[in-house]
Amino acid sequence: MNIRIAPSILAADFAVLGEAVAAVESGGADLIHIDVMDGHFVPNITVGPLVVRALKRVARVPLSVHLMIEKPERYVEAFADAGASILTVHVEAAVHLHRTIELIHGRGVKAGVALNPATPVSTLEEVAALVDQVLVMSVNPGFGGQAFIPRSESKVRAVRALLDRERSAAAIAIDGGIDRDTIRRVVEAGAEILVAGVAIFHAQDPAAATRELKALARGEQPT
């Protein structure tokens, strides 16, 4: 398993995003998770391709863009051009999911699919073998700092089983309420990419928090 930590800048200080990225990179961040919200698919509104492009100039690690937007296919090109390395769309938002995945791959970008807490794992069946990442939402999307939904742990196990059955090489990411109490549990269930917002950026020292979470995820004693 290739355990990776993906700090979510949603919880960072947006006035100094470049500094926030540099801090977590120095703590060993493997990816930067960018949450895009449109005020329709989720109640909140965040950032678009312009901010991804700006972060691409300063980030040394790949940018993983989580699209919480309706009709995500309309924006694949813009986010690919902006420098996203992974584009994740919600199965609930993409009516022609297969086509959207092909569109993302056609732009040379890794494709991820995300599931809301109420969405069954079976919705992945037809695309499991095609995608590079499955993102399990362990909170309802839209806001940082929410409590981890305990059932997400068994959902990760179910996704793992499906991916094995379909011989898919996709990595499982988990997003929402990941902190020092939940991180090891979800790794043991099969998650490899751990997204964390508040647990990192609301800590006094985001670099140290990144390092600590990564060590905990790997089952090591934090230094």
Site for Zn ion in 152-181 (CB under 5 A): 175
46 binds ligand DX5 (CB under 6 A): no
Binding mask 91-130 for ligand DX5 (x = CB under 6 A): ----------------------------------------
Query: Does residue 34 touch ligand DX5 according to CB under 6 A?
Result: no
Instruction: Figure out which of the listed residues 9, 29, 38, 66 binds Zn ion, where binding follows CB under 5 A.
Output: 66
Q: Report the candidate in 97, 175, 119 with the shortest Cα–Cα distance to residue 142.
A: 175
186-220 exposure pattern, b = at least 16 Cβ within 10 A, e = fewer: bbebbbbbbbbbbbbbebeebbbbbbbbbbbbeee
* DSSP per-residue letters across 134-201: EEEESS-TT-SSPPP-TTHHHHHHHHHHHHHHTT--PEEEEESS-STTTHHHHHHHT--EEEESHHHH
With binding defined as CB under 6 A, does residue 197 bind ligand DX5? yes
Distance CA 159, CA 55 (A): 31
Contact flag: residue 35 with Zn ion (CB under 5 A): yes
Q: Output phi, psi for 116, to 5 deg.
A: -70, 160
Residue nearest to Zn ion (CB): 66
Closer CB to ligand DX5, residue 48 or residue 166? 48
Q: Is 132 a catalytic residue?
A: no
Strand-by-strand arrangement of the 86-90 sheet? 4-7, 193-196, 171-175, 133-137, 110-115, 86-90, 63-68, 32-37
- The stretch near ligand DX5 (CB under 6 A) out of 79-87, 88-96, 165-173, 174-182 is 174-182
When binding is defined by CB under 6 A, the residue of 27, 72, 83, 177 that contacts ligand DX5 is 177
Min dist. Cβ of residue 175 to Zn ion (A):
4
- Which is the catalytic residue, given 30, 38, 132, 175? 175
By the criterion CB under 5 A, which residues form the site for Zn ion?
35, 66, 175
Which residues contribute to the site for ligand DX5 (CB under 6 A)? 8, 10-11, 33, 35, 66, 139, 141-142, 144-146, 175-178, 195-199
